[in-house]
Amino acid sequence: KKMLALNLNKVNYLQVGCTSSKSMVVIPSSKGQQKIAVGDFDGVITCFGIKKHLPQIQFKTLPSTKINRLILGAKESTGKDKIYIACGTKIKGFTKKGKQFVDFDSNLSEPVQSMFVDGVDLFLCSSYIYNHYHENSDQNYYLASDKINDIVVLTMPDGMPCLPVLACQDRSLCVINKSEKLFDIQVPGSPITLSIGHNLGGNQAKSVVYGTSDGKVGLINIDSKGYEFVWEIQNEKNYGDVLCINTYDVSNNGTQDVIIGRADGVVEIYAFDEGAEPFQHCVCNLSESITSVSGGCVCAANYQEVVVSTYTGWIYGLTTEPQQRQLGMPGSSTKAAVNTELDLKIAELAKEIEQLQQTVVIEREKYQESAKSVTATSTIPAFNINDRFILNHDDASYNLSIEVQMPIDIILLQSNVPVDLLDVEKNSAVVSYSSCAPESGNFLLATYRCQANTTRIELKI
């Protein structure tokens, strides 16, 4: 009996500021619809739920330092429903109602880039240093040989010490015991992200799912004595880097599926049929960098979905709820109720557009006044740019990707060394070359004119 195809429908929830990798979670709940918490570059945590297909804000914090990570943890051994954030060198903890109960300064010399919380234990990583705190007192420390991209911690049975696993840039997973390195695991590319593989390794094994910069995903069983590679998914279609991984039973068949989010906007769901090897059950393309993926029942009770956050701050739901149920199409028993919901949604959007138009008029008037002023100075607005320049070892070219929160109109390229610009399938921008004089150090002058509403562009050099 083959597994049924998975049909996911995209739903737009809301937009926050730009988001870091692994900074959005679906909060566990024993009943009804679940809430979503997300942290952004402005230092704001937004926690919201969906009621009648409209986002309802549960709580929102005031702006502060940029949030590098937002994860779930628990004070005791109860379910992980507490929100922890890493902002600068500080760790803050909030309940799902928005009450702050932790404000811990790690006193590290660099910002915390990744972390893991297990009860009263905090495992923090800056760029090269791993620190373990027990009840806010420093316990263990380790200096990695290369940049640390992520951390997960495996809890061991029978009171044995837990095993932190660090994803290091030098193509290795470093397994730590207290303040010593236990062993290294060589993986096929630089590991960018890690996730605990809940029951994926079989026989109650403790396993870790890793995703690499060259788009591969694998599962490894790890204990204090050694490790075992279980499976690996190759990147045959040359999708982007794996930025986030999670496990959740989206297909509702009793086994965990692996959800993968990539830098080029591809979201994949790998499921397990009768064999131990995963197969691609579903793939969606959102054309923006995926920073976090999580599973739950958010939009409607009893309908599983994958919640996705993108670099530009959009939170999307990929839900198994049928489209006709949402839109009140023929064959839907909820037609009248959904039509009322749609009317409400349209009214809300019309009201929002009116408010935005009024704000634009006010800002335009302010600009006209300041333009006439003798003392006013003009400045370029600052905005976040997510850029990556990565060597593709298959064809010895470089991939340059640029992403910003607002639509890109024109990109200018200048180079003082001879380079060729290659065609990229995903790139719909129009390129124009200008003549240049190599003797003056100009070998390339090119202009990329983007299509409307393009926020991310990929170039091949």
**Domain end (from 304, 321, 338):** 321
**Core vs surface per residue 215-228: b (16+ CB within 10 A) or e:** bbbbbbbbbeeebe
Same structural domain, 139 and 36? yes
pLDDT along the chain (461 residues), means of 10: 72 91 90 90 93 87 93 71 91 91 89 91 93 91 93 83 92 92 91 87 78 92 89 88 92 86 92 80 89 91 90 91 59 55 81 92 87 77 85 83 88 89 83 85 88 87 88
Question: Do 276 and 401 share a domain, yes or no?
Answer: no
Question: Same domain for 410 and 299?
Answer: no
DSSP helix/strand/coil, 287:
coil
Residue 355, CA distances (Å) to 54, 313, 350, 368 in order: 18, 21, 9, 20
The pLDDT assigned to 354 comes to 93
> Is residue 359, in this structure, part of any structural domain at all?
no
> pTM for this structure?
0.87
Q: Same domain for 87 and 221?
A: yes
| Same structural domain, 143 and 17 | yes
pLDDT at 79: 66
| Residue 280 shares a structural domain with residue 400 | no
- Domain residues for the domain of 219 are 9-321
Residues 391 and 314 occupy one common structural domain: no
Residue ending a domain, choose from 273, 296, 321 = 321
Tell me if 84 is assigned to some domain: yes
Domain membership of residue 109 (yes or no) is yes
194 is a domain residue: yes
pLDDT at 184: 93
Read off the CATH number of the domain in which 190 is found.
2.130.10.10
Token pair of 380 as six digits: 């370029």
What pLDDT shows up at residue 345? 78
Q: Quick one: which H or E segment has residue 367?
A: helix 335-372
Domain count, the chain: 2
The answer to whether residue 30 is domain-embedded is yes
Would residue 112 count as lying in a domain? yes
pLDDT of residue 266: 93
Q: Is residue 216 in a domain?
A: yes
Specify whether 297 is located in the same domain as 444: no
DSSP line for 257-283: EEEEEETTSEEEEEEE-SSSSEEEEEE
Tokens read off for 350: 């019309």
Whether 356 is covered by a domain: the verdict is: no
Place of tokens 């070219």: 397
> How much is the pLDDT for 333?
47
- Among 321, 346, 373, where does a domain finish? 321
